[in-house]
Chains A and B, each alone.
Chain A
Amino acid sequence: AQSVAQPEDQVNVAEGNPLTVKCTYSVSGNPYLFWYVQYPNRGLQFLLKYITGDNLVKGSYGFEAEFNKSQTSFHLKKPSALVSDSALYFCAVRVPYSGAGSYQLTFGKGTKLSVIP
């Protein structure tokens, strides 16, 4: 079974400072990894994904994430946080299609990011 851990329920960071939201995963096989952002009462917006290739993935709104296979991590980062980045962030994982059920996307419990002006 695949699983995702987001060890921090909340991350606070001052505006202009770098931010990191942590994610570790557990899967059998090569993972597809995703980050999504959710604003209150809204659906999920895609930020970035890792499928294969370069371990550093650049995504929307200046976010990036680094795939680290040895540490089974996929931390989300941004060099300079904005107040508008304040939202709920979800890390998710799936494995390449290999039969019934493997399209399933498994989410972490989410991390609330608060950027303080």
Chain B
Amino acid sequence: GAVVSQHPSRVICKSGTSVKIECRSLDFQATTMFWYRQFPKQSLMLMATSNEGSKATYEQGVEKDKFLINHASLTLSTLTVTSAHPEDSSFYICSASPAGTRGYTFGSGTRLTVV
């Protein structure tokens, strides 16, 4: 079945540094990928829709300069949290919809802790 690989699974970084999270579709091409943020005991909040070869579409209230998204190929999208602060600590999950399935496959998530 369709697999989305997300790395790293956990990362701890110092305040002020940047962190890159990768999301790869392993056995299918993904023109569109989705990035979610999940706070403890809460639902998934869509942050942005990543489009291959074009700019990402950000949801209202999400800082595009803070959360940089690059979708340079049909199998890779990256989310870079720039100048991270403790309030950026969260669980980030990516997702893609394999063509013809009308469904979604999720990555295993990245636990970001900013100290």
Q: Which residues of A contact B (CB under 8 A)?
A: 32, 34, 36, 41-46, 49, 51, 90, 100-101, 103-110
Contact of B107 (CB < 8 Å), options: A32, A41, A43, A51: A43
A42 pairs with B43, CB closer than 8 A: no
Residue of A nearest to B97 (CB): A103
B49 pairs with A104, CB closer than 8 A: yes
B34 pairs with A43, CB closer than 8 A: no
Contact of B93 (CB < 8 Å), options: A43, A100, A104, A108: A43
B106 pairs with A36, CB closer than 8 A: yes
B107 pairs with A105, CB closer than 8 A: no
B102 pairs with A49, CB closer than 8 A: yes
A105 pairs with B95, CB closer than 8 A: yes
On whether A32 and B102 interact (CB within 8 A), knowing A42-B109, A43-B6, A43-B109, the answer reads yes
A103 — which chain B residues lie within 8 A by C-beta? 32, 34, 49, 97
Within 8 A of A (CB), among B75-115: 91, 93, 95, 97, 102-109, 111
User: B42 near A: Cβ within 8 Å?
Assistant: yes
B104 pairs with A43, CB closer than 8 A: no
List 30 interface pairs A-B (beta carbons < 8 Å), by A numbering: A32-B102, A41-B9, A41-B91, A41-B109, A42-B108, A42-B109, A43-B106, A43-B108, A44-B44, A44-B93, A44-B95, A45-B106, A46-B104, A46-B106, A49-B102, A49-B103, A51-B102, A90-B44, A103-B34, A103-B49, A103-B97, A104-B34, A104-B46, A105-B34, A105-B95, A107-B43, A109-B43, A110-B41, A110-B42, A110-B43
